[in-house]
Chains A and B, each alone.
Chain A
Protein backbone atom coordinates (compact mmCIF):
# COMPACT_ATOMS: atom_id res chain seq x y z
CA UNK A 1 0.00 0.00 0.00
CA UNK A 2 1.90 3.04 -1.29
CA UNK A 3 1.94 6.07 1.00
CA UNK A 4 3.50 9.50 1.13
CA UNK A 5 6.09 9.70 3.89
CA UNK A 6 7.28 12.79 5.72
CA UNK A 7 10.13 13.39 8.14
CA UNK A 8 10.41 14.46 10.84
CA UNK A 9 6.93 13.92 12.29
CA UNK A 10 7.57 16.44 15.04
CA UNK A 11 10.07 19.25 15.31
CA UNK A 12 10.64 21.70 18.13
CA UNK A 13 13.18 24.41 17.49
CA UNK A 14 14.15 27.86 18.61
CA UNK A 15 13.49 31.03 16.71
CA UNK A 16 16.19 31.75 14.17
CA UNK A 17 17.11 28.12 13.54
CA UNK A 18 16.90 26.43 10.15
CA UNK A 19 14.22 23.80 9.68
CA UNK A 20 14.20 21.23 6.88
CA UNK A 21 11.19 19.03 6.23
CA UNK A 22 11.33 16.11 3.81
CA UNK A 23 8.73 14.30 1.78
CA UNK A 24 8.83 11.13 -0.27
CA UNK A 25 5.98 11.14 -2.78
CA UNK A 26 4.32 8.00 -4.07
CA UNK A 27 6.30 6.45 -6.91
CA UNK A 28 4.81 7.44 -10.25
CA UNK A 29 3.09 10.58 -9.00
CA UNK A 30 4.24 13.62 -10.95
CA UNK A 31 2.70 16.38 -8.85
CA UNK A 32 3.81 17.30 -5.34
CA UNK A 33 2.18 19.87 -3.08
CA UNK A 34 3.25 21.51 0.18
CA UNK A 35 0.51 22.78 2.52
CA UNK A 36 0.55 24.50 5.87
CA UNK A 37 -2.30 23.98 8.29
CA UNK A 38 -3.12 26.10 11.30
CA UNK A 39 -6.34 26.42 13.22
CA UNK A 40 -6.91 29.87 11.82
CA UNK A 41 -5.88 29.42 8.19
CA UNK A 42 -7.08 25.97 7.22
CA UNK A 43 -5.05 24.26 4.50
CA UNK A 44 -2.84 26.85 2.84
CA UNK A 45 -1.01 25.94 -0.37
CA UNK A 46 2.64 26.95 -0.13
CA UNK A 47 4.12 25.49 -3.32
CA UNK A 48 3.66 22.75 -5.86
CA UNK A 49 5.75 20.91 -8.40
CA UNK A 50 4.92 19.09 -11.58
CA UNK A 51 7.50 16.69 -12.97
CA UNK A 52 9.90 18.17 -10.37
CA UNK A 53 9.56 21.69 -11.79
CA UNK A 54 8.20 24.35 -9.46
CA UNK A 55 4.93 25.67 -10.89
CA UNK A 56 3.80 28.04 -8.21
CA UNK A 57 5.33 29.07 -4.92
CA UNK A 58 3.39 32.28 -4.51
CA UNK A 59 1.97 31.05 -1.21
CA UNK A 60 5.38 31.00 0.46
CA UNK A 61 7.14 33.87 2.20
CA UNK A 62 10.08 34.06 -0.21
CA UNK A 63 12.52 35.63 2.18
CA UNK A 64 12.57 32.65 4.52
CA UNK A 65 10.95 29.65 2.81
CA UNK A 66 12.30 27.55 -0.04
CA UNK A 67 11.02 24.37 -1.67
CA UNK A 68 12.91 22.00 -3.94
CA UNK A 69 12.69 18.59 -5.56
CA UNK A 70 16.26 17.34 -5.96
CA UNK A 71 14.93 14.12 -7.48
CA UNK A 72 11.64 12.35 -8.10
CA UNK A 73 11.73 10.62 -4.71
CA UNK A 74 12.41 13.64 -2.51
CA UNK A 75 10.80 17.02 -1.93
CA UNK A 76 12.12 19.43 0.69
CA UNK A 77 10.73 22.49 2.42
CA UNK A 78 13.18 24.73 4.28
CA UNK A 79 12.60 27.61 6.62
CA UNK A 80 15.55 29.84 7.44
CA UNK A 81 15.36 31.60 9.82
CA UNK A 82 12.32 30.14 11.54
CA UNK A 83 9.91 32.31 13.52
CA UNK A 84 7.21 31.47 16.11
CA UNK A 85 4.48 32.31 13.56
CA UNK A 86 5.73 29.40 11.42
CA UNK A 87 4.42 26.96 14.02
CA UNK A 88 1.93 24.75 12.21
CA UNK A 89 1.46 21.31 10.67
CA UNK A 90 3.10 21.04 7.26
CA UNK A 91 1.63 18.49 4.88
CA UNK A 92 3.10 17.14 1.70
CA UNK A 93 0.76 15.56 -0.85
CA UNK A 94 1.37 13.83 -4.15
CA UNK A 95 -0.84 12.89 -7.06
CA UNK A 96 -1.35 12.97 -10.78
CA UNK A 97 -3.02 15.71 -12.77
CA UNK A 98 -6.74 16.13 -12.04
CA UNK A 99 -6.79 13.26 -9.63
CA UNK A 100 -6.78 12.50 -5.93
CA UNK A 101 -4.06 13.96 -3.75
CA UNK A 102 -2.52 11.58 -1.24
CA UNK A 103 -1.36 13.31 1.90
CA UNK A 104 1.56 12.44 4.10
CA UNK A 105 1.17 12.28 7.89
CA UNK A 106 2.46 15.84 8.30
CA UNK A 107 5.28 17.48 10.24
CA UNK A 108 4.19 19.29 13.38
CA UNK A 109 6.54 22.25 13.77
CA UNK A 110 6.84 24.28 16.96
CA UNK A 111 9.10 27.32 16.93
CA UNK A 112 9.81 28.70 20.38
Chain B
Protein backbone atom coordinates (compact mmCIF):
# COMPACT_ATOMS: atom_id res chain seq x y z
CA UNK B 1 0.00 0.00 0.00
CA UNK B 2 1.24 3.48 -0.85
CA UNK B 3 -0.79 5.00 2.00
CA UNK B 4 -1.45 8.70 1.40
CA UNK B 5 0.22 10.35 -1.58
CA UNK B 6 0.25 14.00 -2.62
CA UNK B 7 0.89 15.64 -5.97
CA UNK B 8 2.89 17.78 -6.59
CA UNK B 9 5.65 17.81 -3.96
CA UNK B 10 6.76 21.36 -4.76
CA UNK B 11 5.23 24.25 -6.66
CA UNK B 12 5.96 27.93 -7.22
CA UNK B 13 3.06 30.14 -8.30
CA UNK B 14 2.69 33.78 -9.16
CA UNK B 15 0.03 35.84 -7.41
CA UNK B 16 -3.32 35.29 -9.08
CA UNK B 17 -2.52 31.93 -10.63
CA UNK B 18 -4.61 28.89 -9.86
CA UNK B 19 -3.68 25.31 -9.08
CA UNK B 20 -5.03 22.06 -7.71
CA UNK B 21 -3.35 19.83 -5.16
CA UNK B 22 -4.21 16.16 -5.38
CA UNK B 23 -4.39 13.77 -2.44
CA UNK B 24 -4.92 10.05 -2.92
CA UNK B 25 -5.24 7.25 -0.36
CA UNK B 26 -5.46 3.51 -0.90
CA UNK B 27 -6.57 2.52 2.61
CA UNK B 28 -10.32 2.77 1.95
CA UNK B 29 -10.59 5.55 4.53
CA UNK B 30 -13.85 7.46 4.81
CA UNK B 31 -12.49 10.70 6.24
CA UNK B 32 -9.97 12.96 4.52
CA UNK B 33 -8.49 16.30 5.55
CA UNK B 34 -6.41 19.16 4.22
CA UNK B 35 -4.11 21.08 6.58
CA UNK B 36 -1.63 23.88 6.15
CA UNK B 37 1.48 24.26 8.31
CA UNK B 38 3.19 27.58 8.85
CA UNK B 39 6.19 28.32 11.10
CA UNK B 40 5.14 28.76 14.72
CA UNK B 41 1.48 28.09 13.91
CA UNK B 42 1.17 24.33 14.00
CA UNK B 43 -1.11 22.55 11.54
CA UNK B 44 -4.46 24.17 10.80
CA UNK B 45 -7.41 22.45 9.19
CA UNK B 46 -8.54 23.94 5.89
CA UNK B 47 -11.34 21.61 4.74
CA UNK B 48 -12.35 18.05 5.40
CA UNK B 49 -14.59 15.33 4.01
CA UNK B 50 -16.47 12.55 5.77
CA UNK B 51 -17.25 10.63 2.63
CA UNK B 52 -17.46 10.63 -1.14
CA UNK B 53 -19.36 13.66 -2.37
CA UNK B 54 -19.22 15.53 0.95
CA UNK B 55 -17.01 18.42 2.09
CA UNK B 56 -16.98 20.80 5.04
CA UNK B 57 -15.07 23.87 6.15
CA UNK B 58 -12.32 23.70 8.73
CA UNK B 59 -10.56 26.43 10.65
CA UNK B 60 -9.03 28.38 7.72
CA UNK B 61 -11.13 27.70 4.56
CA UNK B 62 -11.00 31.14 2.89
CA UNK B 63 -9.30 31.16 -0.49
CA UNK B 64 -9.56 27.38 -0.93
CA UNK B 65 -12.07 24.99 -2.45
CA UNK B 66 -12.20 21.22 -2.28
CA UNK B 67 -13.86 18.30 -3.99
CA UNK B 68 -14.25 14.61 -3.18
CA UNK B 69 -15.68 13.01 -6.30
CA UNK B 70 -14.09 9.65 -5.56
CA UNK B 71 -13.60 8.10 -2.14
CA UNK B 72 -9.86 7.74 -2.61
CA UNK B 73 -9.18 11.29 -3.82
CA UNK B 74 -9.47 14.69 -2.16
CA UNK B 75 -8.58 17.75 -4.21
CA UNK B 76 -7.63 21.17 -2.85
CA UNK B 77 -7.96 24.12 -5.20
CA UNK B 78 -6.55 27.63 -5.07
CA UNK B 79 -8.49 29.78 -7.51
CA UNK B 80 -6.36 32.93 -7.22
CA UNK B 81 -3.18 32.33 -5.24
CA UNK B 82 -1.94 34.95 -2.77
CA UNK B 83 1.44 35.22 -1.01
CA UNK B 84 -0.36 34.48 2.29
CA UNK B 85 -1.01 30.99 0.93
CA UNK B 86 2.68 30.19 0.88
CA UNK B 87 2.82 27.18 3.17
CA UNK B 88 3.31 23.44 3.45
CA UNK B 89 0.07 21.58 2.74
CA UNK B 90 -0.61 18.18 4.24
CA UNK B 91 -3.38 15.79 3.39
CA UNK B 92 -4.51 13.14 5.86
CA UNK B 93 -7.04 10.35 6.04
CA UNK B 94 -8.66 8.25 8.76
CA UNK B 95 -11.34 5.65 9.29
CA UNK B 96 -14.19 6.04 11.77
CA UNK B 97 -14.51 3.28 14.36
CA UNK B 98 -17.86 3.57 16.10
CA UNK B 99 -18.13 7.12 17.42
CA UNK B 100 -14.38 7.60 17.34
CA UNK B 101 -11.91 7.82 14.51
CA UNK B 102 -8.74 5.92 14.06
CA UNK B 103 -5.30 7.41 13.60
CA UNK B 104 -4.87 10.07 10.95
CA UNK B 105 -2.31 9.12 8.31
CA UNK B 106 -0.58 12.00 6.59
CA UNK B 107 0.81 12.42 3.12
CA UNK B 108 4.37 13.71 2.58
CA UNK B 109 3.25 17.30 2.01
CA UNK B 110 3.29 19.86 -0.80
CA UNK B 111 5.54 22.88 -0.44
CA UNK B 112 3.87 25.83 -2.15
CA UNK B 113 5.44 29.24 -2.67
CA UNK B 114 3.38 32.12 -4.03
CA UNK B 115 5.42 35.04 -5.34
A and B from one complex: no
B residues whose Cβ falls under 8 Å from a Cβ of A: none
